[in-house]
Structure 1
């Protein structure tokens, strides 16, 4: 009663306090009631007991009137979800509404024109779908409309021609179709028009856009445009940024465009332009940034163009010839020059970098010669110096030794010589130094210890000499060290084992002596160890056998002695070479087979007979012969015993069956269950069949408790042509053993199993969206967008990574394919069907199978030829799945000349380019991500197993390719303005570069 006395006055006052709220406050609360948001959202702090909504977070008001009115709402990044909050249009003075970067997931209502006072409406980066309402054009004062990075579809409403004040309009990265309408040219107030990365029907660039005489920026990338640039664009006198990238435009830049007085940025990236750069470009007196990358442009670079005060010149991946004009070095603004992958020749301008803050220089894959300009870092700004595969000669300029800003230096495959400037070795920010395939000499100084950020060091194929400095052991960030094919002497530094991040150590073809360093087990991430062709002595450290991820070991052509450590059997090696040493004793059993026949050549003390005897005397041979005879008699007796037992068992089993006997039924559960065996068996009806394969049928079973499960009923007598597991175990036994122990979000769950003499069942969690194969190639083909495909690829990769790296011992699936990747209600992918799975036992790098198991089109080539299986076989199969996701095609297609998807993709890339490979259903806005994922698929399907990345690495590559899966492409800033979203990698981006797609 006392509590009621206290609370009652508050309850009576609450309606009065709500009533005291202004009408604007009530409208805000009504809008909030339509949205979902976490407690951390600013909307949680909107207090209805506070009568003044102007004090609420993210709310701005005008104080010019007697009653303050809400004029601006900034609810960006507020974790909101739900429909567009139309009650906000009841705010009569609301001029600015920002709901960007939330999860508004409805269509835009036609009643949005009730927001009559709006000047700025920002809805970028939400989940909006459906058409753009034409009623937006009824908002008289609207100046900014940003609908970019959503899922809007349809075309542009005809009403848009009536916009009277619109200055900024962006629909970048949506699913708009139709064509770009000419009536957009009627919106003469526009200053920024951004239509990039939509699914427009291929069409010509509308000439009417030339009526936008106030426009400063046109961003029309990835809009399906073809034909020539209209002459009417010459009327765009205020244009400062033109981006027509990722289209199919042809012809040349019109002379009228070249005479624009104020244009300072033009991009024609990834088009199909023919011909060269017109000299008329020199009329663009304020041009600062020119990017015509990845076209088919030819001819020379006009000297007149280079007279301009350019800040960035990007001509990479074209067919330019001739030289880089000397006068480009006169620009005081030049910070970026990228011309890689052309046919340019001559020398680089001698004064390059002398007059400007040059940051990025990439001239790789051309025919340049002569010396490196001496003043590239004169302004102290040089970060990237990429000169790969040219014919540069002479020495590295001494000035580069003091270039503390340098981050990447790649001078590989030139004719450079002499001593490296000492300061270059120890630059504080340098993380990649590639000097390979030149003629450098001298010693590597101990001062290299100062390069604390160095991640990759490549000095291979040069003439370096002297000791490898102790300072190498101080480079805690070093991941790859390539120093092969030089003249290094002395011992391998003992502290090299302190490099905990090291994955590759290659010191082959030198004159190194002494033992292999003790403590090498500390290099837990070492993947490749190549010490071949040196003068190393002593024993092979047994610690090498503890390097869990090592798959390449070459210690050949040294003077190593004693026996081969048995611990090496713990490794899963794709390559092993211990030839031409002084080893003795037995070859470990794992390696005593034909696969490694060339791994032990030139070691006369090694025994190859595995009987334990190395005697070469006549007496020894006689004893060996007697021992062999006894062994043969023993084996024959054992075979007779086994055959007799098997015969007796078969007779007994037939007798049991003939007398109506039945094996004791077994019901085994792996989780707490709410159903019985009887309830399952009663649901075996043809109407419930959801799949059928070589091993049996799969039924959908709805249980009395409301749960749904999938039940695989295996055939009693499996089909003769069915792919079978290893002898001794049927697919039922294998799957029970595997899935009964596995717990992972991306591995399908086995609830329980049942078997008797007549029936075998496996009960799984039900996956309502079926298999990836069904969704990609069945009735739902084309329904998966790119982000969903990328998420599915990552889910499946994480499941396989768990099998390969986290299970002890590791598990190889052996039948990875799109039909064995199942999708739940949220399209989360889970790996299924472990009937062919194989445990790789400790001490065995791979195992021999008696038959080729798997599905045609997914089988790794080495597996088909050698019947040997390891994780690399799964990685190849998963690479095929990635190619399916990218292309939308089946792994086997009779329309392919090559029959198999892998071969078709590689051939099509070489002949037709990437556009002919990518599934046309995919949004071209994601072409950058798709290209990178395609490259991952090609890496996984390399012919040589050692070239395929580990599944843990595949997971990392997929995450990096998607910029963090689940996010839409971002809209980066450049020079304070919105810039095109495009791939910025240079020619030197190893592994996942644009170039590698075309040469894979």
Structure 2
């Protein structure tokens, strides 16, 4: 007993020390777990370099680590945007006190960690913006005792929608958007998440109807189910979401009427139900919601009139309802009681006057009322709206004079008044519109002289005033518009001479002064405008000779007909533009006898004889060459097509008015318009209407080539035979026999984007045209990826496979290596694609997904923004993606923009550049889906204004 007493006396000091200074046992364990995680991760930026076993800093002083209160246990790991790579570190699951784990915007891959569900204290799990794949572990539905935030946005998660997550009753934020779930209905159980404040399920392949139980989510602040395939009606119970601030249901297949009751949502600020199939009239109470700021209901099938409650909406700033069938006028004094900033009611059937109160708040920036039936005068009050930047009122019934101040709005960039009945003059106040890019006033009744103040518009790129009653001369000051690319003053009563200084307009691509009373000579200086693509001076009183300098122009449209031109016409013009000089009796081809020179006729005869002899020799040589070529072609064709192979079969995919032999007999080598790896392309004119077609004849030679040719043929037919989209090139039919395969497409007169962008004609492609091409091509690819079942991956997206129609609308073409994708990545045996466009993971792994196309399209965007080829001598040994990234990092975005365009388009080009850089991210999961690319591109010009996400702090 005494010995025990002595032992206790010895231990008492030690026990006291332990009480006063407890050993950091848990802390040492947590540090060990963090060090193990560091060892498992790739950390190229050195973000975790301070995490060291021998560190002089305590665990709680390590960067990105938060300890719990005064203890040394890890409560939070904030590791977002650190460029970490690898799989999920399993050791994180041993941090038993962990409450917050943020690994967002890294490069993590592999399956989602199931072990996290066992962490007893975890409140916030954020894994967004990585490459996690596979299904959501079912254990998530049975674990997580206290999870408040689950954020898995923008990964590569697949499988059915994880309805079992509705079992996590503590959830306040469920964020699963932009994942590749298989089409799945929304579970009715979602209504059980009573504490839910944010539901973000955009682009999750959701189908079926929105369950009525969603109305049980009384605490919901943000509801985003956009870009899915939801159908049926919007449930009336949605009017029970009393806490709702933002509702995003756009781009689904919702139908029926908009439910009543939305006006009772007193906190609702942002409503977007656009791009659906909604019908019927707009509910009277929808604008009664007192906090409503933004309403997007465009591109539906709504009818009836605007409700009277619209006129009293106190906070409305953004209203977009274009693309419906809405009738009648605006409510009286609309705009007087709200801070209206953006109004787009285009493409409806509205009538009545434009309200004078639209800009009563002094905040209106964009006014788009095109393609309606508005009538009366433009209100004088709008001339005081100094905030306007974009005005589009075309295709209405507006009349009267335009208010002088309206011409001179100081911030306006686009003023489009065409196709109305407006009259009066273009007021000299136009000189005050210093930011004006586009002045489009054609097809009205404007009179008088164009004011000299037009020369003050230094940023003007389009001046289109055709089909009016303008008189006087072409304003001399127009030659000061150095950025002008299109000048159309046709069908007026202009007189005088064309200013010789017009040759200073080096950006000019279209010049149309036809159907006027212009006199004098054609200025030779026009031939110095090398970007000119279209020149029309017909139906005037121009005299003198045709300037030989016009031979320098490469024109797709050229017309000098019905003037008073005379003199000798060079052979170049007469051979190339035979229909461009009609109605000029003084023009002569070869002999130009002068009345004042008696020796002119003999001299002309000698000149004619010499010319005829020379021409005859050339014709003879060309005839011999043609005969030899045709004979060889005939022999070659005869060798290829034997008697038993001479029958052709035509398989049509659209209605055609020609036969297979019409196509076969039109394959003349003189009509070859292109050659590629798959074959040769001809332009042929067939059918009773003389319609132009493009015919691709696939190459044929050895057995291996024949196999590849058949593979290409099958891929094109399988893809394009079933595709119907305005931005996918149309395959009319295929014509085949046992030895030859022909594919007949619609003809695209402006060829490929690549050929045009990187040729001497690049000047034709101004920035608005390039932007339009980017949007169109993105819409075509989005259709292939998201609307085709199964999805189609193009595998060879490049600028040469984007074709342009007469209006420079873009269509995706050449599906010879396209692949359908049904369940996850497809593994290829060989790489398809073109150098400079191939996604890095495709080159390394031969795994192809839709994200491979996104990368290639990103390269196309960089081409459009920089004007450079993917592989070009001026960027050295780097390919375009590396060159752009390096220069942006070192010198900023300005250093890579096409210097020929940048000017006033700097901001737009920078935004599109950023979208391109998102698309070429080296990590596939970080590339946006094509649907998102389309939306981002549309937002660049405000056609689809980005939604303002309300920041909601998690209630922890």
Asked if Structure 1 and Structure 2 have the same fold, meaning a TM-score greater than 0.5 normalized by the shorter chain, the answer is yes
Within 5 A, what are the aligned runs for 1:208-247?
A: 208-247=189-228
Contact 2:518 2:542 in 1 (8 A): yes
Q: 1:375 to 1:722 in 2, by over 3 A?
A: closer
Equivalent residue of 2:551, what SS? helix
* CA drift at 1:290: 2.3
Equivalent residue of 2:86, what SS? coil
* CA drift at 1:295: 1.2
Query: 359, 377, 393: which is aligned to 1:395?
Result: 377
The answer as to 2:396 corresponding to 1:440 is: no
* CA drift at 1:500: 1.8
Deviates more, 1:516-525 or 1:980-989: 980-989
CA–CA separation in structure 1 for the residues paired with 2:802 and 2:499: 42
Equivalent residue of 2:455, what SS? helix
* CA drift at 1:243: 1.9
* CA drift at 1:338: 1.3
CA–CA separation in structure 2 for the residues paired with 1:521 and 1:167: 68
CA–CA separation in structure 2 for the residues paired with 1:269 and 1:983: 11
* CA drift at 1:105: 3.7
The answer as to 2:881 corresponding to 1:881 is: no
CA–CA separation in structure 2 for the residues paired with 1:52 and 1:94: 17
Q: 2:121 maps to which residue?
A: 141
The answer as to 2:267 corresponding to 1:267 is: no
CA–CA separation in structure 1 for the residues paired with 2:598 and 2:164: 100
Within 5 A, what are the aligned runs for 1:676-695?
A: none
Query: 578, 582, 603: which is aligned to 1:601?
Result: 582
* CA drift at 1:966: 3.2
Contact 2:269 2:294 in 1 (8 A): yes
CA–CA separation in structure 2 for the residues paired with 1:353 and 1:263: 25
* CA drift at 1:831: 9.5
Equivalent residue of 2:78, what SS? strand
Contact 1:181 1:206 in 2 (8 A): no
Alignment coverage as a number of residue pairs: 712
Equivalent residue of 2:446, what SS? strand
CA–CA separation in structure 2 for the residues paired with 1:457 and 1:278: 42
TM normalised by structure 2 equals 0.64
Query: 170, 177, 182: which is aligned to 1:196?
Result: 177
Q: 1:983 maps to which residue?
A: 935
CA–CA separation in structure 2 for the residues paired with 1:157 and 1:475: 62
Deviations 1:78-129 (A, max 9, x none): xxxxxxxxxxxxxx425131322x5434332444313444333333333333
Contact 2:464 2:489 in 1 (8 A): yes
* CA drift at 1:280: 3.7
Q: 1:172 maps to which residue?
A: 153
* CA drift at 1:633: 5.8
Equivalent residue of 2:232, what SS? coil
CA–CA separation in structure 1 for the residues paired with 2:446 and 2:671: 53
The answer as to 2:466 corresponding to 1:515 is: no
Equivalent residue of 1:279, what SS? coil
Deviations 1:960-990 (A, max 9, x none): 76753231599xxxxxxxxx99838889979
Within 5 A, what are the aligned runs for 1:570-969?
A: 570-593=552-575, 596-607=577-588, 609-610=589-590, 801-804=757-760, 879-881=811-813, 922=850, 963-967=914-918
CA–CA separation in structure 1 for the residues paired with 2:479 and 2:230: 56
- C-alpha RMSD over aligned residues: 5.2
Query: 187, 209, 226: which is aligned to 1:206?
Result: 187
Contact 1:149 1:969 in 2 (8 A): no
Contact 2:754 2:799 in 1 (8 A): no
The answer as to 2:462 corresponding to 1:485 is: no
CA–CA separation in structure 1 for the residues paired with 2:570 and 2:150: 71
Deviates more, 1:182-191 or 1:960-969: 960-969
Query: 329, 332, 342: which is aligned to 2:311?
Result: 329
Gaps of 5+ in 1: 1-20, 70-91, 647-693, 695-720, 733-769, 782-789, 791-795, 808-826, 833-856, 863-871, 890-919, 937-949, 971-979, 995-1000
Equivalent residue of 2:139, what SS? helix
Q: 1:526 to 1:119 in 2, by over 3 A?
A: farther
Within 5 A, what are the aligned runs for 1:36-47?
A: none
Contact 2:439 2:463 in 1 (8 A): yes
Deviations 1:520-560 (A, max 9, x none): 23221111111112222222111211212110111112222
The answer as to 2:434 corresponding to 1:452 is: yes
Q: 1:119 maps to which residue?
A: 99
The answer as to 2:554 corresponding to 1:557 is: no
Contact 2:521 2:544 in 1 (8 A): yes
Q: 1:549 to 1:141 in 2, by over 3 A?
A: farther
Q: 1:859 to 1:176 in 2, by over 3 A?
A: closer
Deviations 1:467-487 (A, max 9, x none): 212221111221111111122
Q: 1:987 to 1:158 in 2, by over 3 A?
A: closer
* CA drift at 1:612: 6.1
Q: 1:803 to 1:960 in 2, by over 3 A?
A: farther
* CA drift at 1:458: 0.9
CA–CA separation in structure 2 for the residues paired with 1:861 and 1:255: 45
Q: 1:473 maps to which residue?
A: 455
CA–CA separation in structure 2 for the residues paired with 1:164 and 1:731: 61
Equivalent residue of 1:967, what SS? helix
Query: 342, 349, 373: which is aligned to 1:367?
Result: 349
CA–CA separation in structure 1 for the residues paired with 2:238 and 2:761: 58
CA–CA separation in structure 1 for the residues paired with 2:804 and 2:399: 43
Gaps of 5+ in 2: 1-26, 627-639, 641-665, 678-707, 720-727, 729-751, 764-794, 822-847, 865-897, 922-931, 947-956
Equivalent residue of 1:193, what SS? strand
* CA drift at 1:230: 1.5
The answer as to 2:88 corresponding to 1:108 is: yes
Equivalent residue of 1:513, what SS? strand
